[in-house]
Structure 1
Amino acid sequence: MSKFFYGIEDLFVNYLFAPLDFFRFMHSWWGANTINWIFFVIGLIAAVYWMGQLKIFNDSGEEDKSISSHSYL
């Protein structure tokens, strides 16, 4: 069973995360954290889009907000 977990370790360390080793050895903080900032911006854009969609559905009045909408309430 230990070979199974060593295989998973080998997959992630030597293959899937190998491109990230390039960022580890950079001497610039901004350069090393570029990928983090990219993910942050993508997440921020997704959150703003999601909030916009929630506002559209809230303003259209499609959602049933009555207390009796669920039997457990």
Structure 2
Amino acid sequence: MSWKAIFEGIQSFTEDVLFIPFDALREMELESWFGANIMSWIFMLIGFVAFVYWMRELKSFNDNNEEDRSSTSHGYLAEDAVRQQ
């Protein structure tokens, strides 16, 4: 068995099996724009829900004062600001 046969088998499996739902969506494109882009809508919804969840978590940490805000990212930046004054 050669490497070429392995990669052609992966290609065949991907095109013939894994892309079946996307081929069905492509056929639906002429009938309904929303139906053809359902995967995009689903990914946008997942992203929006994740964004709202993350913002609520950040707000809860901010309200509890759990974040240490005393340090700067680089010590030399704070020292440089003191020298300039």
User: Normalised by the size of structure 1, how large is the TM-score?
Assistant: 0.76
The equivalent position to 2:55 in structure 1, one of 51, 54, 57, is 51
Q: Which amino acid aligns with 1:7?
A: G
Gaps of 5+ in 1: none
Name 1:13's counterpart in structure 2. Answer: 15
Identical amino acids, percent of aligned pairs: 46
Gaps of 5+ in 2: 76-85
What is the RMSD computed on CA atoms of the aligned residues? 2.0
Name 1:63's counterpart in structure 2. Answer: 67
Cα deviation for residue 18 of structure 1 reads: 1.2
Give the secondary structure class of the aligned counterpart of 2:67.
coil
Name 1:3's counterpart in structure 2. Answer: 5
Deviations 1:3-49 (A, max 9, x none): 22222222222112211211101112122112211221121111111
Give the secondary structure class of the aligned counterpart of 1:67.
coil
Aligned residues: 71
User: Computing the radius of gyration over CA atoms, which structure comes out larger, 1 or 2?
Assistant: 2
Aligned equivalents of 1:58, 1:2: Cα separation in 2 = 55
Cα deviation for residue 59 of structure 1 reads: 1.8
| Residue correspondence of structure 1 range 23-34 to structure 2 within 5 A | 23-26=25-28, 27=30, 28-34=32-38
1:35 aligns with 2:29: no
